[in-house]
Chain A
């Protein structure tokens, strides 16, 4: 069983307005290939921060973070960006689509960045897979929240990443939409055999994962 994510004694200290805050205070965990992991915990416990660190979007203050055998703490910003191509897909609670691009263009961005020639054809297929083939030309502002999150899912999975990271992907959605997104997320993971790390508040969603870890005050409980 290969380890795709390996964190050793990760600390994160950020400088807020009221001085330095210790957000992660020594996290060690390993995620094996194909596994699905749920991170739960009260608001402000550091779940999002931990996910950001895993994605290389936040730099750990100390400790070791390695993903797919690559030590992320040794990479600079651009190397991290290059590493994410094809390796990681990230989904956020508030979607983070690029407002100036259409749904199709948003999905095509990762492939374009990777220099894929058939970016748009593949993006179109992926958009169809999340059920939005008919909305390809719409801008994010013309889509509902659930639809935007489906676009975000398509964008995260279009490049077939080995690692899917999702931060409360249903947090901004109603129950029905949330459930649909969840189904999609697991479908995508199953279809591509990706490893999934998901932050969630909802116990029933967490229960769908292979393993559940609880975070409290920057520490794994």
Chain B
């Protein structure tokens, strides 16, 4: 009965059109749109990875080994459990065409490859491309590599000692994502054809993957457990189609968390917009509410009349937002697909759309309920006079709001699937709001005090501005709250982005070596050294023998049980051996083994990492090197710097302990940049099997990959920024009537338009600067929390990013203020004043 009446009254008010609701609808639409877009993006990434999990991986499951092929035991296990197996060898090498060498990531395959999917060649089949002609085997290269070497199909190139004919140009590998970020463009050959190349000798740096096709319905979980129990300590890593994107997992993880964060922050900013728009909407209805009450409507009826209107408006805004978000993402799809270093399946996933709609409706109602509940409790006289006292909503309404809030938070936790992240973000937003509210109050009082100070006498524009900020109906708190939150999010993202980019720059060694040479055989060491030191352009050459091994046990317990997921034990690490401490080594504790020491194995451990893992001198460890367990005692710690691109070995062992283990050496060469091309050519001519990595090129690729992440974060933040701007503009638009009157009165009293404008601009700029300053602090805090706690990256305050946020905030508010001063300034005072009669 009451609802029916409320509905009739509400419909009558809505009949006037939606003009008065524009800001509210826009805020909701943008907030919901941002959440929908971010949610769809997340779904697209997950969908892309799941869809193509098997294809990406190139099989149902994969067993991965470093620097060795699978042992007979391991191969037997695969044969027992898999229907089909394919073996792949992956390593870096130099492809040489004539004089020109170029770094390439070689993938050597067997006849079973690819188990899933098909390879894309510019022409012909893989079998045709590989088929020998005139005793010369065929190879396939990525276009960019063939072009760099100036090769056409039919031309020849060398990998190590083996000459190949370019059989075809590679367009697409079905299983490329598993390699993560590779260091060079791809060359595909058959493993058998490499027999004479001298490239896959024991001790050289290569990796092998065994792709498995499993029987339908195979229990991946059980198989993984079985394989890991049997072989993990020997260096096997398992992956399967459930987590195919091995190389990008962490990236996707971080990006996913970040997208949740951005989505929730966008929601909060949109929410503030919704709140202020609802408040403005209610303020404009205060007289109507008072009249309704005079005519005998009780509070409950008034509440319903407006709740219905808000619900209708919210539904429109939400619908628009869904269209906006989904449309925006689909429109941006080509760009996104290009930006992401892995496949994304963009589509209209229902779940994120439903979630966005849920957030929009709940937050719209939540923010509407408070001013509504206040308005219906106020006395008619104060409603008419427009001097709203602060009354508390009725307890029943407070309970309702509590329920809505709980629903909202619960939804955020449930939908994000990451309670701590969702609660952390919401907590952060809440804290930011509290700080901003307090700051708003502080600025208001400050402005009021400043308006009375001596320096403003004779500066009426400034005094009016300060008075307007410090007086009743001050916009300061609203502006600082809405703009401040938007700017805070922007500042957080700015800090993250700048830190990302700074991290890239910082991680680039100040003085990187020109080359990193790998796979140097013992017999080649002396001639290699001679060749390099003989070149006057070379300033420094460092070589060290290198093995790879896994630290499996510490004092009789599994290493992972002792130190958890410390990076040292999560995979195989470089190990060097030397009779004497290598040049430049600082032993910090204990003593290096004597020359020609032949006793039980001893290890010198990197000091910082040892401290992190709580290792002590005398600890017994077992290191698995190429499948063989070596028990050793830690007898010294030494300082190792992993930050540069130079050599850093976590462990050094006495030579006798690994005597006979196949190994090679690595070398770093520092040279004048202009001589680099010559050095590379000389080295590859003289030692065809040695792989050189030009550091600048490698660094360039790493930078590219990291920049893509940074760009993605900035893109996501853009949605939030736009929402914040709409809130800002909405606020400025809502203030127009008040400014119209003020401008008219000031002009009646003799003020020129310039002076009125100056006063309006001043208060905008001052409020923007205040909001920006608060946001700067919030950004620093939020950036720190996000980077350290969520993304696990180091944080440093980025001054320029922060300053630009303050300045941007000031300019944005100023621009909005000036744009919206246009109407008040150009209106004839008579018209304005007459309307206000």
Contact surface of A with B, Cβ cutoff 8 Å: 48-49, 52, 55, 57-59, 77-78, 81-82, 84-86, 90, 92-94, 96-102, 105, 109-110, 112-115, 117, 119-120, 139, 141-142, 155
Contact = CB atoms under 8 A, between A and B. Distances in A.
A52 B835 CA distance: 13
B258 to A, nearest CB: 42
Contacts of B460: 109, 112-113
B589 interface: no
Given A57-B830, A96-B836, A105-B467, A85 B750 contact: yes
Nearest to B469: A100
8 contacts: A49-B830, A58-B828, A81-B752, A81-B753, A99-B471, A99-B472, A109-B746, A114-B750
B742 to A, nearest CB: 6
A100 B467 contact: yes
Nearest to B463: A112
Contacts of A142: 387
B639 interface: no
A155 B837 contact: no
Contacts of A92: 833, 837
Interface string B141-170: 000000000000000000000000000000
The residue among A112, A117, A120 with the most chain B CB atoms within 10 A of its own CB is A112
B745 to A, nearest CB: 5
Contacts of B463: 105, 112
B750 A84 contact: yes
The residue among A58, A86, A101, A141 with the most chain B CB atoms within 10 A of its own CB is A101
A93 B837 contact: yes
Nearest to B753: A78
A59 B828 contact: yes
Given A90-B748, A117-B458, A99 B473 contact: yes
Given A52-B830, A96-B745, A96-B836, A113 B750 contact: yes
B464 to A, nearest CB: 7
A98 B741 CA distance: 8
B472 A139 contact: yes
B749 A113 contact: yes
B748 A100 contact: no
Contact of A141 (B385, B467, B748): B385
A117 B837 CA distance: 33
A44 to B, nearest CB: 12
Given A57-B830, A94-B836, A141-B387, A110 B749 contact: yes
A71 B731 CA distance: 41
A57 B829 CA distance: 6
Given A100-B472, A113-B755, A141-B387, A82 B836 contact: no
B464 A101 contact: yes
A98 B748 CA distance: 12
B745 A98 contact: yes
A57 B828 contact: yes
Interface size class of B (residues with CB under 8 A): 35 or more
The residue among B387, B460, B474 with the most chain A CB atoms within 10 A of its own CB is B460
A153 B128 CA distance: 101
Contacts of A78: 752-754
A96 B751 CA distance: 15
Given A52-B833, A113-B755, 16 more contacts: A52-B830, A57-B747, A57-B748, A57-B828, A77-B747, A82-B752, A85-B749, A100-B474, A101-B471, A102-B467, A105-B463, A109-B464, A110-B750, A112-B463, A113-B746, A155-B749
B751 A113 contact: yes
A155 to B, nearest CB: 7
Interface string B693-731: 000000000000000000000000000000000000000
B121 interface: no
Contacts of B751: 81, 109, 113
Given A58-B830, A113-B755, A96 B741 contact: yes
A48 B834 contact: yes
Interface in B176-198: none
Contacts of A52: 830, 833-834
B616 to A, nearest CB: 71
B731 to A, nearest CB: 16
Contacts of A114: 750
Contacts of B385: 141
Contacts of B32: none
A100 B742 contact: yes
Nearest to B465: A100
Interface in B813-837: 828-831, 833-834, 836-837
Contacts of A94: 836-837
A161 B113 CA distance: 98
Contacts of A113: 460, 746, 749-751, 755
Nearest to A92: B833
The residue among A49, A85, A92, A109 with the most chain B CB atoms within 10 A of its own CB is A109
A59 B829 CA distance: 10
B433 interface: no
A77 B753 contact: yes
Contacts of A90: 748
A97 B457 CA distance: 20
A141 B473 CA distance: 10
Given A57-B828, A77-B753, A113-B750, A141 B472 contact: yes
Nearest to A97: B745
A82 B830 contact: no
Contact of A101 (B467, B747, B748, B752): B467
B747 A81 contact: yes
B402 interface: no
A57 B752 CA distance: 13
B580 to A, nearest CB: 81
Contacts of B837: 48, 92-94
Contacts of A48: 834, 837
B458 A115 contact: yes
Nearest to A49: B830
A95 to B, nearest CB: 10
A55 B742 contact: no
A142 B753 CA distance: 29
B98 interface: no
B751 to A, nearest CB: 5
Contact of A98 (B458, B742, B754, B828): B742
Nearest to B741: A96
A149 B191 CA distance: 98
The residue among A84, A86, A98, A105 with the most chain B CB atoms within 10 A of its own CB is A98
A98 B468 CA distance: 9
A101 B751 CA distance: 16
Nearest to A168: B837
A101 B746 CA distance: 12
Nearest to B387: A141
A32 B745 CA distance: 27
A84 B467 contact: no
A174 to B, nearest CB: 16
B753 A82 contact: no
The residue among B472, B474, B745, B828 with the most chain A CB atoms within 10 A of its own CB is B745
Nearest to A171: B837
B386 interface: yes
A145 B95 CA distance: 92
B748 to A, nearest CB: 5
Nearest to B470: A100
A48 B751 CA distance: 22
A112 B467 CA distance: 14
B833 A96 contact: yes
B625 to A, nearest CB: 78
Contacts of A102: 467, 471
Contacts of B473: 99-100
A92 B832 CA distance: 12
A113 B759 CA distance: 12
